[in-house]
Structure 1
């Protein structure tokens, strides 16, 4: 294997490890804050982080396989699986957000203020752009469509972070009870679009030939 590619593979794998660790923290903090405050947006954001953990772990597995110099056929197979996991992740989180947001709008349920939720959202506004930049950078260096797709997955999380934070602030300071579920629902169109693209990329990969 080319030494330059090997170096970038190891760095990309390390980024995924950092991604997994931080997303686990996001999941724990945001779900506790979301269920405590009754915020549909925080809960949806936390579940999106669960999916990101699965997606990042699958991509780590794919990168690790190439680093260990497994057969090209197996690398391609892992690429295909990674794309399908990313696509399924977008679909699952979109389905939940849609259901939960509509339910909260119908019930006209106003979430309570969550200082803990706001803190983790603000931290994520700093962390996620860094992860996006490194994923996209190494995706380009390695000519890896799945790494670039994963950077888009993290961008969805960043977009959702901004929407959720705006919704919580609007409920708190403007008394817009509907802002929380609407903020969550705004993520759905973009997430479905990126999920469809990941699915299409996965379908294009063939691993019938061996190394």
Structure 2
């Protein structure tokens, strides 16, 4: 690949990572606000996870910026620290969602509405699919395993969106008890997996996500 074309592809990859950061920030704000006001634990947990993904996204953007300057072989201290903070935050989120789900079931708490969850999940599915597809394209053209791995890890948010959409739709139309709590437990499971993978990647210093990512 020509040097100029390579540079343009890396610039595009960097812009994709910036879009991911900005989108997750906005998604986190909307999800936590409506999750708290509508008392839907699944949406609130989804929003907190979006904020954690911002931390991860900053590490990815930093990595791609380094790739623009020179060939890199492993993560630097900044990226490792970002992974450790991300992993810790995801473990805390997992514990909080599990405790919240137990309390919600015990108190027989139900959301006022899950309409916001349906809207947020729908937008997220479309956005994450676009980001995943574009990251895979640019990663394959650059033959860059770090960018391809980032694309594969973006699918986690895609799957989380379907969990949120499913639980929100079921409750909004059929008001099945505890479905919101179950949806939050599904998000907690993915948060735990993400947290474990973040610590594994920080420990190995590998530029790739671990083999079972997403």
TM-score (normalizing by structure 1): 0.80
1:63/1:138 CA distance change after superposition, 3 Å: same
Structure 2 residue runs of 5 or longer lacking an equivalent are: 207-214
**Higher alpha-carbon deviation: 46-55 or 156-165:** 156-165
Alpha-carbon deviation of 1:45? 0.5
Match for residue 209 of structure 2?
none
Structure 1 residue runs of 5 or longer lacking an equivalent are: 207-211
Match for residue 33 of structure 1?
34
TM-score (normalizing by structure 2): 0.79
**Higher alpha-carbon deviation: 38-47 or 108-117:** 108-117
Alpha-carbon deviation of 1:16? 0.8
Question: What secondary structure, in the 3-state scheme, does the structure 1 residue paired with 2:109 have?
Answer: coil
**Is the Cα–Cα contact under 8 Å of residues 20 and 53 in structure 1 kept in the other structure?**
yes
The 5 Å alignment of 1:47-86 reads 47-67=48-68, 69=69, 76-86=76-86
Residues 1:105 and 2:82 aligned together: no
Instruction: Quote the Cα distance in structure 2 between the aligned partners of 1:177 and 1:135.
Output: 39
**Is the Cα–Cα contact under 8 Å of residues 33 and 114 in structure 1 kept in the other structure?**
no
**Is the Cα–Cα contact under 8 Å of residues 55 and 150 in structure 1 kept in the other structure?**
no
Equivalenced residues, count = 204
CA RMSD of aligned residues (A): 2.8
Instruction: Quote the Cα distance in structure 1 between the aligned partners of 2:149 and 2:92.
Output: 16
